Amino acid sequence: MSGLLSGKTALVTGSSRGIGRAIAVAAAGEGALVGVHYAGGADAAQTTLDAIRENGGDGFLVQADLFERQGPDTLAVKFLDEVEQRTGQRSFDLLVNNAGYGGRYRIDQVDDAIFDRMIAVNFRAPFFLVRALHPAIKDGGRIVNVSSMGTRAAFPDMSIYAPSKAALETLTVVLAKQLGPRGITVNAVQPGATVTDMNPLDKDPARAAAAIQTIALGRLGQPNDIASVVTFLLSEAGGWITGQKIDVSGGQRI
């Protein structure tokens, strides 16, 4: 721990596993008090919290289903209630919109239910979560949105996933302009092929080998590869970067 985020309070959505878990553990390892958000996987979220504490950090669990229409507002209230109990302030510093809904679908495979869930979790939820929470973010705070390099390369089986993330990237730029006068930075990161529960490439050697062939650095990404960049953007060192889409793919399909 180097204390890059010492004294800060953070919310990381979808942090019960994968990239979200890595970001939560890394942020706590740098001194932040971290709200570990989850929708339904309480045991997995507890594993994240255990990892935070084993690493010398501190955090707490907060549950809300971001697919539900009131999910973002519910999460905002629960999170700020817990922050107030722990810090005596109803304000915080760092928001990472990581929660997402994945899946590979060509346009003819997308039914109404898939479309609605993808848009709801990947775009609507972070939109309304920021709407609810931005007044409580302290001046000089940080927002990082987790997008995908699929927004800059054509993957036919990302027919709704990529557009939902592209909307999040556009929101990133809009918010950077709006919140800039308060010293709040807003950026997006674009992971590439990263080994997670949602994308278990390491379990399929042929698919993994094909993906590696498209990556300049010659390997699959790991959650910590993404977390280290997000932690930088959350820190003071990242304070002169805003409104940016930062590729964190190892040079995939460049």
At 40, the pLDDT band (50, 70, 90 cuts) reads very high
pLDDT score recorded for residue 2:
79
pLDDT score recorded for residue 118:
98
pLDDT score recorded for residue 180:
98
Please tell me which residue in 38, 161, 235, 245 is annotated as part of the active site: 161
pLDDT score recorded for residue 201:
75
The answer to whether residue 228 is catalytic is: no
Please tell me which residue in 147, 148, 159, 235 is annotated as part of the active site: 148
The answer to whether residue 161 is catalytic is: yes
Q: What does the alpha-carbon distance between residue 8 and residue 63 come to, in Å, rounded to a whole number?
A: 21
Average pLDDT value for residue range 41-51:
97
Could you write out the three-class secondary structure of the chain?
CCCCCCCCEEEECCCCCHHHHHHHHHHHHCCCEEEEEECCCHHHHHHHHHHHHHCCCEEEEEECCCCCCCHHHHHHHHHHHHHHHHHCCCCEEEEEECCCCCCCECHHHCCHHHHHHHHHHHHHHHHHHHHHHHHHEEEEEEEEEECCHHHCCCCCCECCHHHHHHHHHHHHHHHHHHHHHHCCEEEEEEECCECCCCCCHHHCHHHHHHHHCCECCCCCECHHHHHHHHHHHHCHHHCCCCCCEEEECCCECC
At 1, the pLDDT band (50, 70, 90 cuts) reads low
Q: What percent of the chain has pLDDT over 70?
A: 100
Q: What value does the mean pLDDT of the chain take?
A: 97
Give the tens place of pLDDT for each residue, 145-201.
999 999 999 999 999 999 999 999 999 999 999 999 999 999 999 999 999 887 777
At 203, the pLDDT band (50, 70, 90 cuts) reads confident
Please tell me which residue in 101, 147, 165, 249 is annotated as part of the active site: 165
Architecture of the 9-248 domain: 3-Layer(aba) Sandwich (3.40)
The answer to whether residue 148 is catalytic is: yes
Domain-by-domain residue ranges, the chain? 9-248
